[in-house]
Amino acid sequence: MTNLRASQLPPKVRLEYPFAGNLFDQPATPLSEGPVQMHYLDEGTGPVVILLHGNPTWSFYYRDLVLALVAAGYRCIVPDHVGCGLSDKPRDYPYTLARRIEDVERLVDHLAITEFSLVVHDWGGAIGCGLAGRRPRALQKLVLLNTGAFRSKRIPLRIAAIKVPFFGEVVIRGLNGFAGPATNMSVKIPLSPAVKAGMLWPYRSWADRIAVWNFVKDIPLSQSHRSYGTLVEVEDGLKKLADKPVQIVWGGKDFCFNQHFFKRWCELFPNAEVHLHKAHGHYILEDGGRVVTKQIRAFLEA
């Protein structure tokens, strides 16, 4: 199903994001009147690469990498998680890790994809590795960009502070105190005005920022958390990927996914191809630009 949502982007953002986009109906929720539409890119032809974003980004984050991979002969599938980007932003959706994995699974089945490589960033790591753990035979290669997919008690104080109910929701949804600061804190090279506008465009109001808040709320730090069991399953599933080609491309100045996470990935995948960019931040594709894009493309082509 095609859509007109991308055409509604501001002209300067549209120049950065020249994609048509598609819509896929996810199952209705108990209180919704119909299906929930997930927006996704389906660009190019050839071997499939699924690119999964985190919080508070959307498929816009992968725009340059998609263009490079399409030029190299790949088919790129890039969903906007429900509540993010150009997807619907329902109030009553179950914004949990389990549902996120299921959403991507349904999209993969809808597109009849049987083999794919993954590029994952931030929350996309837990979602993508969850998918790969369920379908290890389908996974060809895995690219990890400043992410996590295992249990950890480490969380920056500035994020822990806004996990607090009511206060956190007011800061994130009312004051835009997560997506807004992220455009500065997640990079070491300032974003251009157009790119910054693109990052923030889907999150302009209280209602638009529902998933931004729910992603923070869904960080499982204790066994009683609703997503803790799912994260355990994701972590256990990493063992099934031990024989897969893995690339780790990392920004060394990440305030959130810091060296602790980088070292843990290197332990989990000791044979991985590793590129540590010590001067770059969390948004490694923004800071790293063409150099990082070239590294990912070379790994997929090897």
Q: Directed axis angle between helix 228-237 and helix 123-134, to 10°? A: 60
Task: Give the N- to C-terminal CA distance of the chain in Å, as an integer.
Answer: 34
Contact 48, 117 (CB under 8 A): yes
**Residue 288's closest CA among 117, 142, 80, 145?**
145
The dihedral sign for the CA sequence 266, 269, 271, 276:
negative
In contact, 44 and 70? CB cutoff 8 Å:
yes
Please give the Cα distance from 182 to 186 (Å, whole number).
Answer: 5
Question: Parallel, antiparallel, or unpaired: how do β-strands 36-43 and 22-26 relate?
Answer: antiparallel
pLDDT at 301 over 90: yes
Phi, psi (degrees; rounded to nearest 5) at 123: -60, -20
pLDDT digits (tens, 9 = 90+) for 36-69: 999 999 999 999 999 999 999 999 999 999 999 9
Residue 204 has pLDDT above 70, yes or no: yes
Peptide bond before 56: cis, by omega within 30 degrees of 0?
Answer: yes
**Rounded distance, CA 46 to CA 54, Å?**
25
Position 4 pLDDT exceeds 80: no
User: Residue ranges per domain, the chain?
Assistant: 6-301
pLDDT (average), residues 76-93: 96
Using 50, 70 and 90 to split pLDDT, how confident is the model at 164? confident
Q: Is a pLDDT exceeding 60 seen at residue 2?
A: no
3-state SS, residue 49 = strand
Q: What distance in Å separates the CA atoms of residue 90 and residue 52, rounded to the nearest whole number?
A: 20
pLDDT one-digit tens code per residue, 238-275: 999 999 999 999 999 999 999 999 999 999 999 999 99
Tokens 């929930």 map to which residue?
36
pLDDT of 1: 58
- Rounded Cα distance between 282 and 146, Å, is 6
Question: Each residue of 211-225: pLDDT tens digit?
Answer: 999 999 999 999 999
> Which architecture does CATH list for 6-301?
3-Layer(aba) Sandwich (3.40)
Does 183 score more than 90 pLDDT? yes
- CA distances for 148 relative to 102, 130, 250, 284, angstroms: 18, 11, 12, 14
Other residues' Cβ atoms within 10 Å of the Cβ of residue 190: 11
Residue 90 confidence (pLDDT)? 94
Alpha-carbon gap, residue 177 to 277, rounded angstroms:
27
